[in-house]
């Protein structure tokens, strides 16, 4: 069989696991993604380590839980000390580039303390989280300099005739309404309008084109490409024809009950008060936004077809490991919530498909509990490189591709909600807004610092509609699940300046020391 | 009153809290240290964050618990990313130097990844844990290049006529016996013999002389000096006349019972099997070693007198905060143990004396539970600098100097025993040899990964002779104490790339964002 030489690591942003036809949504055909699943392995129980872009991605890019990388929210810098995907891939000889979004924020204070400058050489790579920024675009370009991004996509739009101060906002994120008035994609009421950008110039098309160019330019030189689509993340606005591919009749019923609106769990209640939750609580909002969300997903699927055709034409299907996943889901009104911060399956669960061309047979579907921190170890094993256990807290998924084996006893995900209105409403200090999810085969418990936990029985209540967090008959179960969290936290990898092998050698040396003699009479 | 401009941070190595006359050992007069205690505040319940040199010191030097700095044992490198005492002091304008021991091991891989070289400039300072190595000497100089140290003390000995390949070993750590034969200080049976080095050239005298030179050379330039004595740490060998200041009749009875020898707690039992424990179990060993240990302590006390006289002569008593402490204690046969790894009061508890010349009145004695990670915040406050909460996990002790206030509810200390024979005997893998102590006013629980805990009632059993770790009537208490550990671990500072103020500003900005509009209809 062929040997894996390249990694094509595709990530969507805010793509729900159940919004792909291969994951069971018949009204949203995604034939190209389904074809990947048919060739490889589709994971039904993959979880992100934080249901928010930044922390989730930093976990995926470092192979460490959020508590172990510390970038707990979107605008918290990533410590430059932690090796990233780029370190592991480059040491295996692969050029490692990013197209699209990473959400990595440079740790300028850390760089400065070490005499490094973010703008150049090693400093730039560290500031980019270890990626070569081939065509980075984090998906939102503001007019403000304070949050400014590398405006490479804006340059592209300008070159293609979209004239403006901020062409991303004025074209990709704006529409003309029926009366010819300019409307902003930031307002969800405009979700049914077509973006002013031509489909072939949209973010999804641009990212795909950049990827094909990168792969072609690499020729026979091995590469790891993080193709990181910005969509279907908000702003919910799609270019024609994807803005009208779906209609209100295609929208799935929300997963929610009237009873949930009376649930007084303080954090859940405060998140229900968020503006996006209030909006998605209205069925007319869902019926306008979700068809566009579905259109954005189908657009990605079409570009998957284009990408795979390009890979095939360049002869790269035989030696490229393909991974397709997302950084978290989107609640879209489920449980009376918008966005993704809480740990419901629609937010903490993600699609994950892996195609390994070196395997003559793949299991097809894997129901084991796995995590996105498992991806770096997977890449390392697929490339035939020695396993790394110094910083990495995940485990390779390669064995799961080949046979049905038990997964993890439990998976974990974390949230730092200090930066949300919920924290303000609850008057939670900035260091105390922490929540941790543990999910076993049957149970999901969310442990909140300072508040009662939430508990769901995923066997009897797969839609997570009944919170058993206060139920008297589950006292012991909750204690056991909390204990799983405690055990997990106590086993995080802290001794990161030394590998296990080095530690074993040091222990052997210490026990055989000849020139330092302790305690002998 | 005077203002604190300098910090004299004195640390002894392996000095038991109860081996000073001011802490209650009448047979060991330490008048100069007692005088410091009389001028300032003596803490009766100060704890190190790990009862082993390296991890304890890295906690003191970074202000972080061991789980938060990761240098879990002596030869585990300190991550260069973590700011140290040197960063905090230099930003306050103080030259920060070390004389004597730090046990910092350079994180060469981390330096190399960042393109830094340990031998020069910033790289050297990072490799030294943030100190300017004015006269570093880690206390043991081996012949082996592999563990080689900065041999500055060896140069000093050579210059003073002690000719040899390794003068430290051949003179400071060797003696001539009654028959004129050379004997090694590594063998405790030689503890009663005088070291071949003259007292004025011994490590304690040399460190003190270096300190006086440093302070004089600084003149009016502010400084933070970490004067880090190597003694009374083993090898247990003292220069004349300190080798015979004390005799067997001065030796305190060991704190141990026959019953403890039948205690089957696996980790405690395995540590009792260590060679140093077997040695110190013998009363004749104690009677030969402990008088020398006491002599080494009294030698330090005499040099404290010399140091304070020098400070006074240079006019520095008025503007120098003086701190006297140790990195851990020494079990010296208590509980049938040698060394210090387990968490008994004689090992995890340390002497701590603080003299703040800017206060007109100090409380004198403080019984509050405090930790050595509290020292950096103390120095910062004493210097009148703004409090830092980004990386620091301790709290300033300055308020405790001025009035009697409640201390911490609990203090914590950690051990990674992967590198000890005990781990080998118990076949514990290198990542699972972790123990955590929590100590409240009344209770001390030691939580072992994979083993039952130890529990001591310090009110009813201050000598910690009865392990209640299995006692049926303490089931709930043990659960509560374990819960304190879980809470503590879940609150460690992980978001270190951002200060609390920055986080609060970010939260306010996020909640007022104008150009990124989420979820509005």
Calpha distance B88→B99 (Å, rounded): 18
pLDDT one-digit tens code per residue, A238-283: 999 999 999 999 999 999 999 999 999 999 999 999 999 999 999 9
Q: Which residue has the tokens 């007292």?
A: B199
Does residue A147 register a pLDDT over 80? no
pLDDT one-digit tens code per residue, B145-195: 433 455 789 999 999 999 988 999 999 999 999 999 999 999 999 999 999
Cβ–Cβ gap B519/A493 under 8 Å: no
Calpha distance A329→A203 (Å, rounded): 19
Q: What is the pLDDT of residue A135?
A: 86
pLDDT one-digit tens code per residue, B464-508: 999 999 999 999 999 999 999 999 999 999 999 999 999 999 999
Task: Assess contact for B366 and B354: CB atoms under 8 A.
Answer: no
| Helical segments of B355-499, H only | 375-382, 398-402, 421-426, 475-490
Half-sphere exposure of B279 (CA within 13 A, CB side): 22
pLDDT top residue among A113 and A439 = A439
pLDDT one-digit tens code per residue, A45-90: 999 999 999 999 999 999 999 999 999 999 999 999 999 999 999 9
Cβ-based contacts of B72 with chain A (< 8 Å) = 494-495
Q: Which of residues 175-194 of A touch B (CB under 8 A)?
A: 184, 186-189
Q: Which of residues 249-278 of A touch B (CB under 8 A)?
A: 274-278
At A144, is the pLDDT very low, low, confident or very high (cuts 50, 70, 90)? Answer: low
Whole-model pTM?
0.96
Q: Confirm or reject contact between A435 and chain B (CB < 8 A).
A: no
Task: Assess contact for A322 and A312: CB atoms under 8 A.
Answer: no
Mean pLDDT computed over A193-212: 98
Cβ–Cβ gap B486/A489 under 8 Å: yes
Task: Assess contact for A11 and A326: CB atoms under 8 A.
Answer: yes
- What are the helix and strand counts (H, E) for chain A? 18, 15
**What are B483's two structure tokens?**
């819960």
**What are B268's two structure tokens?**
């405690």
Q: Confirm or reject contact between B418 and chain A (CB < 8 A).
A: yes
Mean pLDDT computed over A378-404: 96
Give every strand in the sheet of B454-457, ordered side by side. Answer: B411-416, B434-439, B443-448, B454-457
Cβ–Cβ gap A497/B140 under 8 Å: no
**Prior bond of A4 cis (ω within 30°):** no
Q: Which of residues 136-175 of A touch B (CB under 8 A)?
A: 140, 142-144, 147
Task: Assess contact for B342 and B27: CB atoms under 8 A.
Answer: no
Q: In this prediction, does ipTM exceed 0.90? A: yes
Does residue A150 register a pLDDT over 60? no
Closest chain B residue by Cα to residue A512: B421
Q: What is the pLDDT of residue B437?
A: 98
Q: Percentage helix, strand, coil, to 5, in chain B? A: 40, 15, 45
Question: Could you tell me which residues are beta bridge partners of residue A447?
Answer: A436
CA dihedral over B63, B67, B72, B77, signed as positive or negative: negative
Which residues in chain B land under pLDDT 50? Answer: 145-148
Q: How far is B310 from chain A (nearest CA, A)?
A: 35
Give chain A's mean pLDDT: 95
- What are the helix and strand counts (H, E) for chain B? 18, 15
pLDDT one-digit tens code per residue, A398-426: 999 999 999 999 999 999 999 999 999 99
**Residue in A70, A186, A510 closest to B497 by CB:** A70
| Full DSSP string of A282-321 | SHHHHHHHHHHHHHHHHHHHHHHHHHHHHHHHTT-TTSEE
Cβ-based contacts of A64 with chain B (< 8 Å) = none
Q: How far is B222 from chain A (nearest CA, A)?
A: 22
β pairing state of A454-457 and A443-448 = antiparallel
CA triple A439-B510-A230, angle to 5 deg: 65
Q: What is the pLDDT of residue A122?
A: 86
Calpha distance B200→A182 (Å, rounded): 87
CA triple B316-B320-B321, angle to 5 deg: 155
Calpha distance B191→B296 (Å, rounded): 11
Task: Assess contact for B147 and B153: CB atoms under 8 A.
Answer: no
Closest chain B residue by Cα to residue A515: B142
Does residue A364 register a pLDDT over 90? yes
């Amino acid at each position: 069989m062929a040997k894996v030489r390249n990694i094509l690591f595709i990530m969507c942003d805010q793509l729900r696991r159940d919004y792909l036809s291969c994951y069971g949504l018949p009204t949203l055909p995604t034939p190209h993604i389904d074809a990947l699943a048919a060739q490889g392995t589709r994971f039904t129980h993959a979880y992100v380590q934080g249901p928010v872009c930044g922390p989730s991605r930093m976990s995926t890019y470092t192979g460490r839980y959020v508590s172990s990388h510390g970038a707990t929210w979107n605008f918290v810098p990533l410590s430059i000390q932690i090796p990233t995907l780029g370190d592991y891939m480059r040491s295996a000889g692969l050029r490692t580039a990013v197209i699209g979004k990473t959400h990595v924020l440079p740790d300028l204070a850390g760089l400065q303390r070490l005499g490094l400058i973010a703008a150049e050489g090693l400093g730039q790579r560290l500031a980019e989280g270890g990626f070569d920024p081939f065509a980075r675009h984090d998906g939102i370009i503001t007019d403000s300099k304070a949050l400014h991004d590398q405006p490479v996509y804006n340059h592209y739009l300008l070159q293609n005739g979209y004239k403006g101060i901020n062409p991303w906002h004025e074209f990709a994120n704006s529409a003309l309404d029926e009366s010819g008035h300019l409307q902003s994609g930031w307002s969800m009421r405009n979700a049914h309008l077509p973006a002013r950008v031509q489909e072939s110039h949209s973010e999804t098309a641009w990212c795909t084109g950049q990827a094909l160019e990168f792969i072609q330019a690499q020729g026979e030189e091995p590469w790891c490409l993080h193709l990181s689509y910005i969509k279907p993340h908000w702003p919910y606005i799609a270019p024609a024809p994807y803005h009208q591919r779906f209609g209100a009749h295609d929208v799935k019923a929300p997963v929610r009950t009237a009873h949930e609106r009376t649930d007084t769990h303080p954090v859940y209640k405060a998140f229900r008060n968020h503006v996006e939750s209030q909006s998605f609580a209205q069925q007319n909002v869902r019926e306008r936004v979700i068809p566009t969300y579905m259109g954005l997903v189908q657009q990605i699927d079409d570009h998957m077809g284009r990408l795979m055709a390009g890979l095939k034409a360049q002869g790269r299907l035989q030696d490229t490991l393909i991974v397709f996943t997302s950084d978290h889901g989107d609640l879209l009104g489920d449980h009376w919530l918008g966005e993704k911060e809480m740990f419901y399956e629609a937010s903490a669960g993600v699609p994950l498909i892996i195609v390994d061309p070196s395997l003559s047979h793949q299991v097809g579907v894997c129901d084991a509990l796995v995590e996105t921190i498992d991806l770096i170890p997977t890449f390392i094993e697929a490339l035939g490189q020695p396993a790394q256990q110094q910083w990495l807290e995940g485990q390779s998924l390669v064995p799961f591709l080949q046979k049905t084996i038990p997964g993890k006893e439990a998976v974990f995900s974390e949230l730092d909600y200090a930066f949300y209105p919920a924290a303000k409403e609850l008057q939670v200090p900035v260091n105390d807004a922490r929540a941790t999810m543990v999910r076993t085969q049957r149970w999901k418990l969310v442990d909140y610092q300072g508040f009662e936990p939430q508990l769901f029985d995923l066997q009897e209540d797969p839609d997570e509609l009944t919170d058993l967090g206060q139920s008297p008959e589950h006292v012991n179960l909750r204690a056991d699940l909390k204990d799983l969290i405690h055990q997990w936290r106590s086993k995080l990898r802290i001794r990161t300046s030394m590998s296990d092998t080095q530690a074993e050698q040091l222990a052997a040396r210490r026990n055989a020391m000849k020139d330092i003699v302790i305690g002998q009479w």
